[in-house]
Amino acid sequence: MTRNLMVVAMLPLLAAATHIPSTPDLGKAEGACRPGETGPAFLIDVEGLKDRRGLIKVEVYPDNNHDFLADDNKLIEQGKTFRRVEKALPATGTPELCIRVPAPGRYSVMVLHDRDSNRKFGWRVDGIGFAGNPKLGWSKPSADKASAAAGSGLTRLEVVMNYQRGLGMRPLRKAD
């Protein structure tokens, strides 16, 4: 009986030992497109940038509300889809991001313009966009409104960035 109690007492320690720490590199190896990538992958054109400061990042999640924007290390620990690609913004032109997905199917997609390069979303500073370009307010969109279907090859998406304007997040006004 004493041995069983020791095993039970050690279970939380064993569980903690298998925990994957969250780092900015999680999901990058799986998400990075290879030269001449044929898919399945999303090829994302990022529109409506406020400026060329910082980093641009795309993340892919399972297409359900429970997992959408969930902690990356928990998704990976549970064997769920999580992919990330991050790069410096080009000086000119429309940024294009390529991110691989595990198989054809539906995924939720988020793009972050990390203007201060701190690798977290700051709603007063950074821009954010989603597949499907849902209208944003004070809360995240549902997974189905922020999702797209990936085919067996390269699937092109256009994501329009949103920035804090007034009491919510909206695209910048285009010049007349």
Q: What is the pLDDT of residue 15?
A: 43
Domain that holds residue 104: 24-170
Closest CA to 140 of 84, 66, 79: 66
| Residue 156 backbone phi and psi in degrees, to 5 | -85, 135
The residue with tokens 């410096």 is 88
In a domain, 58, yes or no: yes
Whether 114 maps to a domain, the answer reads yes
Report the domain count for the chain.
1
Residue 14 in any domain: the answer is no
DSSP character at residue 144:
G
In order of 43, 60, 62, 73, 141, the CA distances from 145 in angstroms are 18, 14, 13, 24, 6
- 41-65 residue pLDDT tens: 999 999 999 999 999 999 999 999 9
pLDDT tens string for the chain (176 positions)?
444 444 334 434 434 444 555 667 888 889 999 999 999 999 999 999 999 999 999 999 999 999 999 999 999 999 999 999 999 999 999 999 999 999 999 999 999 999 999 988 888 899 999 999 999 977 889 999 999 999 999 999 999 999 998 878 899 865 43
Domain presence at residue 1: no
pLDDT 10s digits, 15-33: 444 455 566 788 888 999 9
Structure tokens at 131: 């597949």
The answer as to whether 55 is a domain residue is yes
